[in-house]
Amino acid sequence: MKITDIIVRAGRSLKQAKARTLLTSLAIGVGAFTIVLSLAVGAGGRDYASTIITSNTNPQELFVQPKPDPNNDPKKPQKYTEGPVVNYGNYIAKLLSQDDVDKIAKIDGVASATPIYAASIKYINIEGKDKYQASVRVFRSGVKLEYIAGNSDGIDNNGIIITDNYLEAFGFNSANDAIGKKIQIAVDSGIIMSNEIAVKTFDFNIIGVIKSSTFAASPISGMQISKDNIKAIYDYNMQGTPMFDKYEGVLALANDGKDVKVVKDAINNAGYEAQTAEDLMSFIFQFINVLQAILIGFGILAVLTSVFGIINTQYISVLERTQQIGLMKALGMRRRDVGRLFKLEAAWIGFLGGAIGAGLAIIAGTITNPFISKALNIGDVKLIVFEPVSVIAVVIGLIIISVVSGILPARKAAKLNPIEALRTE
Amino acid sequence: MIEVKKLIKTYGKKDNALNAVDDVSFVIPTGTSVAILGKSGSGKSTLMHIMSGLDKPTTGEVIIDGKNISKLSQKDVDKFRSEKMSFIFQSFFVQAKESCYDNVSLPLEIADVSVSRRKKMIIEALAAVDLTEKIKALAKELSGGQKQRLAVARAIVNSPKILFADEPTGNLDSVTGGLVEDLLFDYSRKNNVTLIVVTHDSDLANRCEAQVHLKDGKIESIKGLK
């Protein structure tokens, strides 16, 4: 018997039991829905994370932190060490100093090393307007910024790049209106004299306006000024405090064309802990992957449950159609073909369930995407991304699972004795 | 030509052993219509099953046109049945939810007849049983007589050499039953097809050219055959 004839006959007998077919495939559909949706969320999450990370980091950049003494037992009290320390769950490490920065800068393959200046500013304002809180960060040329107006030209000449959420507060009508305007940053002095804190203001020219990011951790979330400017602010702000010249981290830049992993090993061998942009990324990906795996796990559980549904439905179908099977065998239909007929019916159920589940998932995802994007305030970015390849793979996978579940009932049908089946009561 | 040689079919073992068919031999020339008669339990159905290759004899053999079908593999006997034999049953066994066309198409699909040839054969078979107008109708919409005619169309569509009819008129009134009988005998005569009718209806049996009477698995009397 031709396989096409068997497929058509399989489809027809399912059509004759519409309600049963639909209910059985809906069970798989639940699994398909969950799996397709979680794959889409995972894909969207990874897409989003990687766009954020690649636009906010330079792949040649390394984040260097002090390394805790590996011989220290964190369960025991720690001995006092001179100078400020950082404490990672009782793993004590000395903060980095300018000496360390210089040492890192000299490591083979490192182009430059810049400490992360933890400067805090008092306020930011435009003459005659209200004062506002703000944070400033160092401008890094390797990081792509989303400019609404202007650019980074003149950053080394007391230029500042502001975020668009301040435009209204400063009374600018548009982003272009802000370009070229003067802005002041006021900083507290670290040295306290006669109970009074001295305040110094630093003047900047607005050279660019960028979109503000919802992620506070992102380097593009704050105002950006040059490294020299931020050092000047830091020096004024921290000099005289015990935290002066003590850094929790250093940004090292590997030479162009140099393998960033080799540089990372070199820095680690020098007694520091370096992480590449990729390392930082992999943590986020790992988080997304674990989340996705849990969701897929639920989907697989649903599929597993539906397997018993298919077996049950197909067994009932074999019992109901005993005479039909007997007739087909009497007419010379081979065992193998009878088995195939029932396996293909199971395949149809799997296909139907997969298609229904995937279809509903795509509809649900497409409908909810704008709401999710709005709720998370991530603009036009889609957090649920359906990849055709993975959707098709899920449907094919479910067809295969269904066929496998159909094996036992199919075998029962194939083994049926036509004489018994055709006995008239 | 069908040669039945010393067929024995035993059910059960040792003390409980029962010969459902006990030392049955006869020869049916091609194109003959034969009635196998007997009360229920006489072994007539078992004999038909063995002659059609649905069942295997305990000993003895069935040779059809020189081929010993009792020795064929399952695969070969299935193929033989799909190409050379056909069945009509007392309870029709038509697929209620399928159209007449699809019902008649089944033996052609099983026998691997190419798609292009099927349509003509199905239309001809339905015309032969006067069901041309019902070609698209579902089998469940047919009356009892029409259902059995549909079963006849299904039986003759692939031009079989041997037609087995198991109580073909058992579920029909005498008028519609007579119509189905006419169809079967006409077809057998015109196409030189061997017709084997299993029945306990003596009127139907008398329309056949030969009669084999079974009792307790043994041949009680035989008429018209060597």
Per residue in B52-99, pLDDT tens?
999 999 999 999 999 999 889 999 999 999 999 999 999 899 999 999
Provide the pLDDT for residue A213: 63
Instruction: Reply yes or no on whether the pLDDT at A220 is more than 70.
Output: no
Provide the pLDDT for residue A134: 84
Yes or no: say if B160 and B192 are a contact pair by the CB < 8 Å rule: no
Yes or no: say if A229 and A202 are a contact pair by the CB < 8 Å rule: yes
CA-CA distances (angstroms) from residue A90 to A84, A150, A248, B125? 14, 47, 16, 91
Q: HSE on the CB side for B202, CA within 13 Å? A: 2
Dihedral of CA atoms A333, A336, A337, A342 in degrees, nearest 10, equals 120
Instruction: Reply yes or no on whether the pLDDT at A113 is more than 80.
Output: yes
CA-CA distances (angstroms) from residue B144 to A47, A184, B140? 66, 100, 9
Instruction: Reply yes or no on whether the pLDDT at A269 is more than 80.
Output: yes
Closest residue of chain A to B85, computed from CA coordinates: A331
User: Chain A to chain B, count of Cβ pairs less than 8 Å apart?
Assistant: 62
In percent, the amount of chain A with pLDDT more than 70 equals 95
Q: Is the ipTM of this complex over 0.90?
A: yes
Are A333 and B78 inside 8 Å of each other by CB? yes
- The β-bridge partners of A73 are none
Provide the pLDDT for residue A379: 67
What is residue A328's three-state secondary structure? helix
Instruction: Reply yes or no on whether the pLDDT at B29 is more than 60.
Output: yes
Yes or no: say if A189 and A197 are a contact pair by the CB < 8 Å rule: yes
- pTM of the predicted structure, to 2 decimals: 0.73
Dihedral of CA atoms A66, A72, A77, A83 in degrees, nearest 10, equals -30
Domain CATH number, residue B59: 3.40.50.300
Q: Tell me the pLDDT tens digit for each residue of B210-222.
A: 999 999 999 999 9
Joined together, the tokens standing for residue A55 give: 């636009």
* Cα A60 to Cα A183: distance, rounded to the nearest angstrom: 33
* Cα B204 to Cα B193: distance, rounded to the nearest angstrom: 18
Residue B97 is nearest to which of A9, A16, A327, comparing CB atoms?
Answer: A16
Domain interval for residue B44? 2-223
Instruction: Reply yes or no on whether the pLDDT at A145 is more than 90.
Output: no
Provide the pLDDT for residue A424: 57
Q: Which residues contact A206 (CB under 8 A, 6 or more apart)?
A: A150, A159, A160, A161, A162, A178, A179, A180, A181, A182, A183
Mean of per-residue pLDDT scores for chain A: 86
Q: Tell me the pLDDT tens digit for each residue of A48-70.
A: 887 777 666 777 888 898 887 77
Instruction: Reply yes or no on whether the pLDDT at A392 is more than 50.
Output: yes
Q: Residue A235: which of A117, A132, A407 has the closest Cα? A: A117
Domain boundaries, chain A: 3-54+283-422, 61-274
Mean of per-residue pLDDT scores for chain B: 93
A331: which chain B residues are within 8 Å (Cβ-Cβ)?
81-82, 86-87, 106-107, 110
Provide the pLDDT for residue A81: 75
Yes or no: say if A117 and A138 are a contact pair by the CB < 8 Å rule: yes
Q: Residue A39: which of A424, A404, A384, A392 has the closest Cα? A: A384
CA distance B208 to chain A (A): 24
How many separate domains does chain B show?
1
CA-CA distances (angstroms) from residue A423 to A382, B31, B166? 62, 27, 11
Q: Tell me the pLDDT tens digit for each residue of A289-336.
A: 898 899 899 999 999 999 999 999 999 999 999 999 999 999 999 999
Residue A1 is nearest to which of B55, B86, B110, comparing CB atoms?
Answer: B110
